[in-house]
Amino acid sequence: MRALITGGAGFIGSHLAETLLGGGHSVSVIDDLSTGSFDNIAHLKGRAGFSYTIDTIMNEPVLAELVDQCDVIYHLAAAVGVRLIVEAPVRTIETNVHGTEVVLKHASKKQRTVVVASTSEVYGKSDDVPFREDGDIALGPTVKHRWAYACSKAMDEFLALAYWKEKRLPVIIVRLFNTVGPRQTGRYGMVVPSFVRQALAGEPLTVYGDGTQSRCFTWVGDVVGALAALAGRREALGRVYNLGSTEEVSIRALAERVKALTGSASPIVSVPYDQAYESGFEDMPRRVPDITRIRALIGFEPKASLDEILQLVIDHHRTR
């Protein structure tokens, strides 16, 4: 299989590239390095079957050529991180909506399979936990930029499913739940690398809000293994899959675990959302996937526990 990974120099994309190359596939990456980094793929340079293009997916002649040369597209290029989304809303919406539009249009011309990376963020404020793929989504008002991200990714899903329905473009949509691991940066607000960096630097661990909000952190290796397994599944076409761990943890408990595992003396401090992001910021109170559907399809089971994941991330930060 010849895979094209958009956003392939990003955190998840670079791990996926490694996994696919390890499975004997060839991999071509396109990334504009806006949030990705060349360092993430530098070790793959020169490896048989690997190539990369530093450009935006919105450069249509370049993208068309790459699409022509592949069998399957993993579309991971997107604006990521709540901080970036709040601070650069125009870029978020344009990258997510227009970028996906371009990828689907060119994939459709050549009838290439597209695996679209979506996000658990699309469930918004829904309290119907655990979230099922066919459950309702509950987004906040348009004056709160956080919801622009969820809405832009939901639009990607609508468009991909529309291509499947109208043009039989083979698409598979995967909603990722808080993927973590080495190479993820805390620069755009992600909590695990932020807490680990703070704990190792002896700085306060900044818990936003009251810390009762919960997430399920998923090991990047589990995520990319599932992504690799999905592409060949005909029965997955035109469907949406949750992909994540079901081990739920509150953000305050996460801070305590990072502190204990690093042996850090850092204090844990509360930061109001208004100060952390912007006035009136709304968070998701709980986020837990129902993974029945992906388990039935590929036998997916998250292998890494939260403590194992945190230990691997801590080791990664220590060796850097």
Select the residue interacting with ligand UDP from 16, 82, 171, 223 (CB under 6 A).
Answer: 82
Distances (CA, A) of 108 to 102, 112, 320: 10, 7, 42
The secondary structure of 59-128 as a DSSP string is -HHHHHHHHHT-SEEEE------HHHHHH-HHHHHIIIIIHHHHHHHHHHHHT-EEEEEEEGGGGBT---
> Minimal distance in Å, beta carbon 192 to ligand UDP?
7
Residues 268 to 297 in contact with ligand UDP, rule: CB under 6 A: 283
Q: Does 37 bind ligand UDP (CB under 6 A)?
A: no
> Minimal distance in Å, beta carbon 1 to ligand UDP?
31
> Minimal distance in Å, beta carbon 6 to ligand UDP?
20
The one segment of 10-18, 91-99, 207-215, 236-244 that binds ligand UDP by CB under 6 A: 207-215
Percentage helix, strand, coil for the chain under 3-state DSSP, each rounded to 5: 45, 20, 35
Q: Does 96 bind ligand UDP (CB under 6 A)?
A: no
Residues 112 to 171 in contact with ligand UDP, rule: CB under 6 A: 121
| Residue 88 · residue 70 · CB < 8 Å | no
> Minimal distance in Å, beta carbon 122 to ligand UDP?
11
How many Cβ atoms are within 10 Å of 162's Cβ, its own excluded? 13
- The tokens of 112 are what? 């290439």
149 is catalytic: yes
Q: Does 94 bind ligand UDP (CB under 6 A)?
A: no
| Bridge partners, 131 (sequence order) | 289
Residues in contact with ligand UDP, total (CB under 6 A)? Answer: 14
Residue ranges that bind ligand UDP, judged by CB under 6 A: 82, 121, 178, 189-191, 194, 206-208, 213, 215, 251, 283
Positions marked catalytic: 149
